[in-house]
Amino acid sequence: MLPDKWTNNFDPTKWDYYIASFNGHPLQSALWGEARKSIDRIESQYFCHFSNDDTPDFMARVETRSIKGVGSVAWIPKGPVVSSSTPCLINEFKEILKKNKYKLLITDEYSLSTETSSENIETIFIDLAKNSDTLFSNLDKQWRYGVRRAQKEGVKLSRDQSENKVAEFFKLCQKISESKSFELPGSLELINHLLSHSFDEKVKFELVSAEFENNIISGAVIAKSGKHLHYFWGASDRNFPKLRGGEAVQWEIIETGAKDNFERYDLEGIDRINNPGVFAFKKKMGGDIVNLVGKQYIPLNTIGTILKIAGRIFNRI
């Protein structure tokens, strides 16, 4: 039984309504959680605390990571989502997790860091409150040329969410992952599910693509949550570099986002050392580099402390 004003039985539609009201990260949404459950069989628990006026002020979509012979870890991707992060609520939440037999809590709060830490994550925010002319002038000179070149060559921008278009885009993603030898996060089934479902209109996913002669030459899957946009998956066909499809897609996202009164476009992470090419690509879009809090490992008992130490040694939990 949960303490007063706490629940872990929340309707997905209401959950995403409140996530959007906080501009919470899409990974904390019921849309993402239920997609992972449907496609990848990953269960979520939705913990929420209500303020005195019966509106949420602490929300955490928790995924359980079981370690054989050890116990369970509570993983909160890009969360929790809070309106007032008081020690009382954090401590109450830790006690709830203890009673649910969790050994370790891993948070990944989606907020700016006030301190420098090895757990910090760098990303780029583009301020969409600026007018279109300013946003365009903030693009790198080569990017502005690329956008104009794509228009001149007859590249068409599309928001077609049909399964055949999504499959064509996903093939581009697979080619990139194979050529760069990295594991492609997500699957075609997951992307299709996210694009075709929504519990609340303010939390949804969308495919934006650049097409030439009816073929996708570049595309990006973005997520909308409240007044924020988030870049999730992207790929370009290397057979058409001169058509500048990548620049055209990103400018379409930025320009339309600004016109639709979104406030921020989060490019979702940069890695200057291990992925300098993607860093250079994103940096040319004219945003600001910021530091996010990143992962925090909070032991809930002695076993949790051991797991935390082991995780830091092996860089994996």
Q: In this model, does residue 119 exceed pLDDT 80?
A: no
1 part of a folded domain: no
Q: What is the extent of the structural domain holding 60?
A: 6-110+295-314
115 is a domain residue: no
With 60 as the cut, is the pLDDT of residue 85 above it? no
Evaluate if residue 13 carries a pLDDT over 60.
yes
If you search the block for the tokens 């269960």, which residue do you land on? 43
- Give dist(CA 243, CA 237) in Å, integer: 10
Q: Show Cβ contacts of residue 27 under 8 Å, excluding neighbours closer than 6 positions.
A: 61, 77, 78, 79
Residue 184: alpha-carbon gap to chain centroid: 15
Q: Which DSSP category does 185 fall into? A: P
Residue type, 204: K
Give the pLDDT band of residue 183 (cuts 50, 70, 90): confident
Report the percentage of the chain scoring pLDDT > 90: 74
β pairing state of 102-107 and 71-76: parallel
The pLDDT of residue 84 is above 70: no
Rounded to the nearest 5 degrees, what angle is found at the Cα of 172, between the Cα atoms of 144 and 186? 110
Compute the mean pLDDT over every residue in the chain, rounded to the nearest whole number.
Answer: 92
Q: For the ranges 50-54, 115-119, 251-255, which has the lowest average pLDDT?
A: 115-119
Question: Same domain, yes or no, for 286 and 230?
Answer: yes
Residues 101 and 36 in one domain: yes
Neighbour tally for 300: CB within 10 Å = 23
Task: Return the number of other C-beta atoms located less than 10 Å from residue 167's C-beta.
Answer: 13
* pLDDT tens, position by position, 221-274: 999 999 999 999 999 998 999 999 999 999 999 999 999 999 999 999 999 998
Q: Which amino acid is at 161?
A: Q
Residues 52 and 153 in one domain: no
pLDDT at position 44, please? 95
Q: How many residues does the chain have?
A: 317
Look-up: residue for tokens 């999730």? 232
Are 306 and 280 found together in one domain?
A: no
- Please indicate, yes or no, whether residues 151 and 235 belong to a single structural domain of this protein: yes
pLDDT, tens only, 124-137:
999 999 999 999 99
Answer for the pair 253, 147: CB distance below 8 angstroms, yes or no: no
In this model, does residue 87 exceed pLDDT 70?
Answer: no
Q: Which amino acid is at 103?
A: K
> Is the CB of residue 65 less than 8 Å from the CB of residue 30?
no
| Same domain, residue pair 217 and 299 | no
Residue 165 and residue 288 share a domain: yes
Query: Which string of DSSP letters, residue by residue, matches 247-286?
Result: HHHHHHHHHHHHHTT--EEE-----TTT-HHHHHHHHTT-
How many domains are there within the chain? 2
Same domain, 246 and 271: yes
Nearest to 191 by CA among 233, 228, 158: 233
Give the residue-averaged pLDDT of 63-79: 91
276: preceding bond cis by omega (within 30 degrees): no
Residue 284 pLDDT exceeds 70:
yes
Domain-embedded: residue 116: no
Rounded CA separation 109/78 (Å): 5
CATH number at 302 reads 3.40.630.30
Residues 160 and 200 in one domain: yes
